[in-house]
């Protein structure tokens, strides 16, 4: 195989690798953005859950105690 043909093949492979690398970097960046969005959503849901739990606990504390005793 002529030397120039070999160099051309290597050059083509390097170009493809560089393109693939760029593509993977873009995909990775998109995935990182999705992960961050999901983290924010998770944190918001946790906060909502905590708030709801506090409200339920407050409502339970307001229930008359004699209702609990009649159920037992």
pLDDT tens, position by position, 50-67: 999 999 999 999 999 875
pLDDT tens, position by position, 1-60: 688 899 999 999 999 999 999 999 999 999 999 999 999 999 999 999 999 999 999 999
Q: In angstroms, how far is the first alpha carbon of the chain from the final one? A: 92
What pLDDT was estimated at residue 69?
Answer: 59
In degrees, rounded to 5, the angle at the alpha carbon of residue 46 between the alpha carbons of residues 41 and 47 is: 100
Phi, psi for residue 63 in degrees, rounded to 5: -65, 140
Cα 14 to Cα 4, 7, 10, 23, 37, distances in angstroms: 15, 10, 6, 14, 35
């Amino acid at each position: 195989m002529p030397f120039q043909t070999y160099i051309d093949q290597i050059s083509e492979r390097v170009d493809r690798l560089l393109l693939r690398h760029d593509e993977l970097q873009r995909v990775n960046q998109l995935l990182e953005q999705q992960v961050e969005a999901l983290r924010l959503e998770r944190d918001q849901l946790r906060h909502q859950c905590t708030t709801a739990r506090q409200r339920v606990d407050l409502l339970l504390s307001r229930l008359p105690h004699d209702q609990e005793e009649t159920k037992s």
